[in-house]
Amino acid sequence: MEKKIKLLINIFLLSVLLATNSKAELTNKIIISVGNEIISNYDLAREMKYLNVITIGQFKNMNDQESRKIAINSLIKDKIKFNALANYRNIILKDETINNQIIASVQNIGFQNIEDFNKFLKFEEYEFEEFKKKILLELKWNQLVYQFYKNQIVIDKEKIDKKLKALISEQKKSEEYLVYEIFIEDAAIKKLDKKSEETSTEYNAVIEEVDGIIIEAESVSYNDKKNIIDKEKSIEEVADTKADNQITIDEIIKNIEEKGFEKTAIQFSSSPAAQQGGRIGWVSEGKFPQLLLKHIKKTKIGTITDPIPRSGGILILKVENKRVEENKIDLKKKMKELIEIEKNNQLGNFSTNYFNQVKNSIKIKYLND
């Protein structure tokens, strides 16, 4: 009798163990491979937690299909960067740089200090170390892009001097705007048929060449690069992928009207500020290129600009608020700021180009889940 009881206990324990292992396999099931990196169901669940954290709970309000798609796209972007960084393991970041970026990111999300942010993370069941890994990835990526392209950065001193003189002439008072942005790359814009193009000229009216796409944010990191070509990836495969993700500008505008600017930015924008709902923050009018400033000044507070053609795509801005600030300019400091803005604009363009190179060279495989 005693032997039978022991046998039953062993069978029960074995069944529990098998059930636990089966559940773990289900949780950690691989759903996508991105080059040498993999994405599992567990990764997807954690990414959705992360996106909910940085949007302060807004992400969870989206429907399941929409939120899943956004989280997958976000993970794929990260894995593309991991693939590129795998060949450059000697990138070293100073603790001060990491801590400053963490503080800036936390403030950009909307928290005044790390303590309050940690309380929110605990409530959302998300680990601070996971958040820190995201910051480290972006910092390493930015450093990689800088190392590749630093010798290609060209600073037009005459252009900077003109901007500085303009600021000096307006230094008594300046207007600042609380701005949000959505940037849609050309590759993501669905082309109209010939008949539609003949009847619609709305988005072809403004033409002006200005270096840089994205406005300088309060806390923002630029995008992505790599030189390996995967010859197994067919042109048709790339074309099909792009076609699935394309959308018209009219559909973007409609989505803004129906779901709001921030949710649309999270879903469709390729701007570095997309995951913060497109929030750029307070920007002085002197930091805007003239073309953007013209659009901003004629846009009512709380509304959006017309779609603005830019290098590589279409930009839509939301002018959330406006204020007038008294200024006393530190000329040396301001000169350095203007140079940094110009560098970041150029690095942003380099980064986007590099990311697209890496993406096109990597095989992305979706597995049955």
Write down the pLDDT at residue 231.
Answer: 31
Write down the pLDDT at residue 174.
Answer: 73
287-321: pLDDT as tens digits = 888 888 999 999 999 999 999 988 788 999 999 99
Establish if 300 belongs to a structural domain.
Answer: yes
72-126: pLDDT as tens digits = 999 999 999 999 999 888 888 999 999 999 999 999 898 989 999 999 999 999 9
- Average pLDDT value for residue range 40-63: 92
HEC states along the chain? CHHHHHHHHHHHHHHHHHHHHHHHHHHCCEEEEECCEEEEHHHHHHHHHHHHHHCCCCHHHCCHHHHHHHHHHHHHHHHHHHHHHCCCCCCCCCHHHHHHHHHHHHHHHCCCCHHHHHHHHHHHCCCHHHHHHHHHHHHHHHHHHHHHHHHHCCCCHHHHHHHHHHHHHCCCEEEEEEEEEEEEEHHHECCCCHHHHHHCCCCCCCCCCCCCCCCCCCCCCCCCCCCCCCCCCCHHHHHHHHHHCCECHHHHHHHHHHHCHHHHHHHHCCCCCHHHCCEEEEEEHHHCCHHHHHHHHCCCCCEECCCEEECCEEEEEEEEEEEEEECCCCHHHHHHHHHHHHHHHHHHHHHHHHHHHHHHHCCEEECCC
Establish if 232 belongs to a structural domain.
Answer: yes
Range of the domain at 252: 167-332
**CATH code of the domain in which 281 resides:** 3.10.50.40
Establish if 49 belongs to a structural domain.
Answer: no
More confident residue, 193 or 145: 145
Domain count of the chain?
A: 1
Establish if 186 belongs to a structural domain.
Answer: yes
Establish if 320 belongs to a structural domain.
Answer: yes
Write down the pLDDT at residue 94.
Answer: 92
Query: Model-level pTM?
Result: 0.53
250-273: pLDDT as tens digits = 899 999 999 999 999 998 898 888
Establish if 345 belongs to a structural domain.
Answer: no
Write down the pLDDT at residue 244.
Answer: 52
Establish if 64 belongs to a structural domain.
Answer: no
213-244: pLDDT as tens digits = 344 433 333 233 222 223 333 333 333 433 45
Residue 1 confidence (pLDDT) above 80? no
321-347: pLDDT as tens digits = 998 876 667 778 888 888 888 888 899
- How much of the chain exceeds pLDDT 70, in percent? 75
Establish if 313 belongs to a structural domain.
Answer: yes
